[in-house]
Amino acid sequence: MGQVVVRHIDESVIARLKRRAAGQGLSLEELLRRALAELAHPSSNEFVEEQRRIQAMSPPIAQPPYAEDMIREDRDSR
C-alpha cells in the first residue's frame, strides 16, 4: 500500500477530524483513509465518459437478434 504525507494542516482542522473519528469509533487515520477512498470514486461525468468509451469499442447493432429468429435458426440447423 502507498503512503501520503500532507503537511501544513491547520490544528483546528485536525482537532475537528479527531473528534469526528472518535465519535464514529475510528482512528483519525481510518477516517481519512475512508474519506480518500470515497474521493477516489469516479464522478458521474467520469462514469458516463467511461461508458461511452467502452460502447465506442463495440460495433453498432443494426437489428437486435430476436429470440424467435435464433430458435428458428437452431431448429433449422438440425
Mean pLDDT for back-to-back runs of 10 residues, the chain (78 residues): 94 98 98 96 94 90 83 91
Asked whether residue 67 is domain-assigned, the answer is no
Is pTM beyond 0.95 here?
no
Asked whether residue 71 is domain-assigned, the answer is no
Asked whether residue 74 is domain-assigned, the answer is no
Q: Total structural domains in the chain?
A: 1
Asked whether residue 72 is domain-assigned, the answer is no
Can you read off the three cell numbers belonging to residue 23? 465519535
d(CA 15, CA 18): 5
- Between the alpha carbon of residue 21 and those of residues 32, 39, 41, the distances in Å are 9, 17, 21
Can you read off the three cell numbers belonging to residue 4? 501520503
What's the confidence (pLDDT) of residue 36? 96
What's the confidence (pLDDT) of residue 39? 94
Domain that holds residue 51: 1-58
d(CA 34, CA 28): 10
**Residue 26: is it exposed, middle or buried by C-beta count within 10 angstroms (0-12/13-18/19+)?**
middle
